[in-house]
A and B are shown apart, each in its own frame.
Chain A
Amino acid sequence: MDWSALWLSLKLAACTTLLLLPLAVLLARPLAWSRFAGKGLVEALVALPLVLPPTVLGFYLLYAMGGNSWLGQTYSALTGRTLVFSFDGLLVASLIFNLPFAVQPIQRGFDAIPRAAREAAWTCGLSPWRTLWRVELPLAWPGLLSAIALTFAHTLGEFGVVLMVGGNIATETRTVAIAIYDRVQAFDESGAATMSALLVAISFAAIGALHFLTRRVGRGDG
């Protein structure tokens, strides 16, 4: 059992979820409520990670974050670290391949809020910021919850992109999914089996918690 891999996976999943959530809210809100030129294009781009093979996405990310790229060079100039084959790069990649899993449920959550609810808040004198906290986020809560659970579980399980961008460096980029593959390659079937079972358990718990919490929210409303 590779505990450091499990720890790394959990850390990656937690960081991704935490960073992606506000970004997704920022992106999903105008997608749900505004009409602007290029909205369809943005929606297509957000959905792209769903249909692309992870290796293809990983390849482009590797290319975009590599030492010769603008992004890679800027990043190492600023931090002294590289993006590829590091946890930082893994996190950036994770943010991107999780976009649809976070944005789409949140967008549906905002979609479901009637405009009149926000207007009621405005006529009560609530600023847009206060309206976001007091009205919009609580009402979009089921969508936010889905986004959290899906992003978390999906990050734990992602394999292709992680392997392409991060490689297989212990304690830096070797996540559980990579470690399982590693164990199988080394004919360590019992190690692979333990970790697989653990991953199933964690993912199941995440989805279970989601259902439990959304049901509670639903009851509160009804």
Chain B
Amino acid sequence: MAEGLSLTLRQRAPIALDCTLECAAGELVALVGPSGSGKTTVLRCVAGLDQAGEGRITCGGALWFDRGVAVPPQQRRVGMVFQAYSLLPHLSAEDNVALALWHLPRREQRQVARQWLSRVHLQGLEERRPAKLSGGQQQRVALARALARAMSAGDQAPGVLLLDEPFAALDQVTRRKLQQELARLRRELPVPIVLVTHDLDEARMLADRMVLLHHGTSLQQGAPEDILSRPADVRIARLVGHTNLFEAEVVQSDGAGASLLWQGQRLTVSEKPRFRPGTRVCWLIPPEGVLLLRRDWTPRDSDHNLVSGCVEDSVALGPYTQVGLRLESGGLPLSFSLPTRVARRYDITAGAAIRVSLLAESIHLMPWSDLSAQLSLS
């Protein structure tokens, strides 16, 4: 990790922070959290634009921040793409990039700036001022400038690339395109990359690992898929958007999995058990773990947990229809989604009685916490 970025930040005010983050060279870590969770502040601390109360930041073996040490932003090799790009309106695209190369001779500045602009597919637009560029093109210039700063290190070690909601201001088509380009480009970049975003899908698409930030506290780190499907606790589950959260009791647990007693019904769970029989737990199932069953078919194997209920509401959202199911056994409703054409074919409308299967492999157990108490959290 000596080559990468490593930080711990702690402070009470003005924004409470308690954050640790590791990002190896060549790795892309997404810093994810709702608005106001302190993501941008963490990034600004790395860049040296803000200072945390205490903590430690090292990058590429260099100490940037510690007790009594605060290296100014100029001396941190940080390529930063700001939220609104912060291009300088009086400079052309090329000169904006060349600004990060000021230490080179003028001719070399132009040459290297043009190289970076062509890396982000902006050949031919070098002379344009930012106001004459589209949002997507501006974002590319900002990325080229950040890359020029982070990468053209000469004999120094490359620095770090910081991306602060770089896709937030773009329309969806442009966003998808630039996300793909970043995914392609980053494979050739030997620097740690930290991406700040509030978009879980974006984190899932682009990041190797993800750090979930809430009220300035880093809650869980890991591969995006792991955090999304196996959140450590109910609070994190809610933050990443899980709504199918229920309480149950573990009745049996062995090497093969566990059984839960939930509203008088036994559920099979194939997750490696972490809770002893008799423990109260919370469990979740993501919408994609809920399967609609045809009326004439009943699966026999134990991977299916059959549940019946009455459709409470069904809302078509383009290609997918969101279904809320009131269970026969009572309790909180279950939500899942279906392809809209399937919902039409089987007439899944309010009042319809249906059966679904909760896939044993999709159920995830978490330590018990009072579900009703935290409903207002997010």
Q: From B83, which residue of chain A is reached at the shortest CB distance? A: A116
A26 within 8 A of B: no
Q: From B73, which residue of chain A is reached at the shortest CB distance? A: A122
Q: 12 interchain pairs (CB within 8 A)?
A: A117-B86, A120-B87, A122-B48, A122-B74, A123-B79, A124-B99, A124-B145, A125-B74, A125-B75, A125-B149, A126-B102, A220-B90
Q: Are A123 and B131 in contact (CB under 8 A)?
A: no
Within 8 A of B (CB), among A47-86: none
Q: Given A130-B102, A134-B99, are A220 and B129 neighbors across the interface (CB < 8 Å)?
A: yes
B142 → A minimal CB distance (Å) = 8
Q: Tell me which residues across on chain B come within 8 A of A99, comparing CB atoms.
A: none
| A contacts, CB < 8 Å to B | 114, 116-117, 119-127, 130, 134-135, 138-139, 141, 220-222
Q: Are A124 and B100 in contact (CB under 8 A)?
A: yes
B88 within 8 A of A: yes
B316 → A minimal CB distance (Å) = 42
B317 → A minimal CB distance (Å) = 36
The CB with the most chain B CB atoms within 10 A, among A123, A130, A141, is that of A123
Q: Are B89 and A139 in contact (CB under 8 A)?
A: yes
B82 within 8 A of A: yes
Within 8 A of A (CB), among B83-141: 84, 86-90, 99-100, 102-103, 129, 131
* A-B residue pairs, 4 tightest by C-beta: A120-B86, A116-B86, A124-B100, A122-B73
State how many residues of chain B have any CB contact under 8 Å with chain A. 27
A117-B88, A122-B74 known; 10 new pairs, CB 8 Å cut-off, are A119-B49, A120-B80, A120-B86, A123-B79, A123-B80, A125-B74, A125-B75, A125-B77, A125-B102, A220-B90
Q: Tell me which residues across on chain A come within 8 A of B75, comparing CB atoms.
A: 125
B16 → A minimal CB distance (Å) = 23
Q: Given A126-B74, A127-B74, A130-B102, are A120 and B90 neighbors across the interface (CB < 8 Å)?
A: no
B78 within 8 A of A: yes
Bound-complex Cα distance A113 to B47 (A): 20
Q: Tell me which residues across on chain B come within 8 A of A220, comparing CB atoms.
A: 90, 129
Q: Given A116-B84, A127-B74, are A222 and B131 neighbors across the interface (CB < 8 Å)?
A: yes
Q: Are B90 and A139 in contact (CB under 8 A)?
A: yes
Bound-complex Cα distance A123 to B100 (A): 8
B304 → A minimal CB distance (Å) = 54
Q: Tell me which residues across on chain A come within 8 A of B48, comparing CB atoms.
A: 122-123
Q: Tell me which residues across on chain B come within 8 A of A119, comparing CB atoms.
A: 47, 49, 73, 82, 86
